[in-house]
Chains A and B, each alone.
Chain A
Amino acid sequence: MANHTTTEASFENQPTWAGGRSPFNVSYGKLMMWIFLLSDAFTFSSLLVQYGTQRFSNVVTPITTKWPDPASIFNHFPGMHGFHLPLLFVSVMTFILILSSVTMVLAVEAGHRNSKKEVEKFMIYTILGGLAFLSCQAWEWYTFIHEGARLDGNTFGITKQGYDHLHKVSFGSHFEWEVGDRTFGPVPFAALFFIVTGFHGFHVFSGVVINVVVYIMTVRGVFERRGHYEMIEKAGLYWHFVDLVWVFVFTFFYLI
C-alpha cells in the first residue's frame, strides 16, 4: 500500500516531459483519436484543394465552361416537385447533423456523471440523427443522378438562355428546365460532388456503426464495469469531426 502512494506521488511530481505519463494529460486512446482526426483532416483538405483548383480554373468565360451555380441544381425538396427551393433541403440536413452533434456531446456529458441511462438515451438520439442524415443524402444523390449527373460527365453547364431563365425565378416559384437551358459543363463538377459528399457520407456511415457498437457496449454494462465512459468521448470526437467536415462541405459546395 505504501508502495502505491509513493508511486502516485512520484507520478504527480514528475516534470511534464519526463516520461511515464502523457504530457498532454489525455489517455493514449484519445490522443490517437486526435492524431487520426488530424490525418483525416488532411484527407478531406486534399479533396477540397482539388475542388477549389478545379473550380477556380472554370470561372469566367465562355459561359458553357462556367462552373455550374449550385442554386440551379440543388433546388429540390422532397414532396415539392417543380419548385425552385435552393439551399432549403441542405439546411435541413445541416440542422439534423448539428442536432445529432448536440445529443452526442450530451451523451459524453452524461458519461462524465456515470449515468448509464442517460448515455443510452442520448446515444439512441445520435444514431437516429445519423441515420436521418444518411437518408437525406441518399435522396439528394438519387435526385442528382436522376437529373443526369455522372462521374464522367456534366450536363449542368448553363447556356445564356438558361442563365437568364434561372435568374427570373425566385425562391419558391414553379420552375422547370427548358430545352436549351443546359449544355455540357466542366467535367469534374459532378465527380467532385460525388467523391467529396460520398467520402463524407461514408464517414457518417462509419460513425453510425461506431455509435451502434458503443451503444451496445453501454447497454451490456461494459463501461459501467470499467468505471469510466471514456469510449463515448472517443466516439464523440469522431462524430464531431464528421459535423466539422460538413460545415466546410456545406460552405464550399452549396453556399458559394
Chain B
Amino acid sequence: MEFYNKPGEYDAINYIPHTESHGTKELWKTFWLLLGITLFDFMIYFVMPASGFRNFIFIFFGLVKAYFIVGAFMHLKHEKMTLALIILVPTIFICGLIIGLLYEGSALEVMKSM
C-alpha cells in the first residue's frame, strides 16, 4: 500500500491513499457508451409510440447510464466493496419509496374522480 503522506504523518483525518491512473481508454469507452445510449433514447422516442414499454426502456437505459457514470467516472468500481455498499444500498430504498408513492398517486386520482 502506498500513501501520499510521509511515513509517520498518518492519522484518521490526514490519511490519503495513493490513487493509480487507470488510463483514459475506459473513460472514452464510457463516453461513447453514454452518447450511444442517449442517441438510442432519442431514436426510440420518435420511432416508438408512447407506451408503458417505451417508458420501461427509458428508465432501464437511464439506470444503465447511471451505472456507467457512477462506476467508471466516479470510480466506484475501483473502490472497496464496503464503500460501494454504503453508497448504493440506501438508494435501493429510494427506488422502493418512488414505486410505493407512484401507487399512492394513482390512488389519489381515483379519489379525486369520485
> Which A residues are within 8 Å of any B CB, using their own CB?
3-5, 7-8, 11-12, 19-28, 31, 34, 37-38, 41-42, 45, 48-49, 52-61, 86-87, 91, 94-95, 98-99, 101-102, 104-106, 108-109, 112-113, 171, 227-228, 230, 233, 236-237, 240-241, 243-244, 247-248, 250-251, 255-256
How far is B72's CA from A240's CA once the two chains are assembled, in angstroms?
10
Majority SS at the chain A contact face: helix
How far is B64's CA from A244's CA once the two chains are assembled, in angstroms?
11
- CB of A26 within 8 A of CB of B17, answer yes
30 example contacts (A-B, Cβ-Cβ < 8 A) are as follows: A4-B7, A7-B10, A8-B8, A20-B11, A21-B10, A21-B15, A23-B82, A24-B83, A26-B79, A45-B94, A45-B97, A49-B97, A52-B105, A57-B108, A98-B38, A102-B31, A109-B27, A230-B4, A230-B19, A237-B74, A240-B69, A241-B74, A243-B73, A244-B66, A244-B74, A247-B69, A248-B66, A251-B58, A255-B41, A256-B58
Binary per-residue interface labels of chain B (46-80) against chain A in the complex, 1 for a CB within 8 Å, 0 otherwise = 10000000010011001001100110111100011
Per the CB 8 Å criterion, the residue count for chain B at the interface is 62
**Contact of A247 with B65 at beta-carbon distance under 8 Å, contacts A5-B7, A59-B109, A95-B38 already known:** yes
How far is B20's CA from A23's CA once the two chains are assembled, in angstroms?
18
- Tell me which residues across on chain B come within 8 A of A102, comparing CB atoms: 27-28, 30-31, 73
Q: How far is the CB of A20 from chain B (nearest CB, A)?
A: 6
Majority SS at the chain B contact face: helix
The A-B contact count (CB < 8 A) is 169
Q: How far is the CB of A230 from chain B (nearest CB, A)?
A: 6
How far is B16's CA from A28's CA once the two chains are assembled, in angstroms?
8
Q: How far is the CB of A187 from chain B (nearest CB, A)?
A: 13
- Tell me which residues across on chain B come within 8 A of A28, comparing CB atoms: 12-15
**Contact of A256 with B55 at beta-carbon distance under 8 Å, contacts A105-B73, A247-B69 already known:** yes
- Tell me which residues across on chain A come within 8 A of B112, comparing CB atoms: 57
- CB of B17 within 8 A of CB of A248, answer no
- Tell me which residues across on chain B come within 8 A of A45, comparing CB atoms: 91, 94, 97-98
- Tell me which residues across on chain A come within 8 A of B1, comparing CB atoms: 12
Q: How far is the CB of B29 from chain A (nearest CB, A)?
A: 11
**Contact of A106 with B27 at beta-carbon distance under 8 Å, contacts A49-B97, A54-B105 already known:** yes
- CB of B15 within 8 A of CB of A34, answer no
- Tell me which residues across on chain B come within 8 A of A250, comparing CB atoms: 62
Q: How far is the CB of B108 from chain A (nearest CB, A)?
A: 4
- CB of A26 within 8 A of CB of B83, answer yes
- CB of A49 within 8 A of CB of B101, answer yes
**Contact of A41 with B94 at beta-carbon distance under 8 Å, contacts A52-B101, A243-B69 already known:** yes
- Tell me which residues across on chain A come within 8 A of B104, comparing CB atoms: 53, 56
- CB of A60 within 8 A of CB of B109, answer yes
Complex interface residues of chain B between 13 and 37 (CB less than 8 A to chain A): 13-17, 19-24, 27-28, 30-31, 34-35
Q: How far is the CB of B35 from chain A (nearest CB, A)?
A: 6
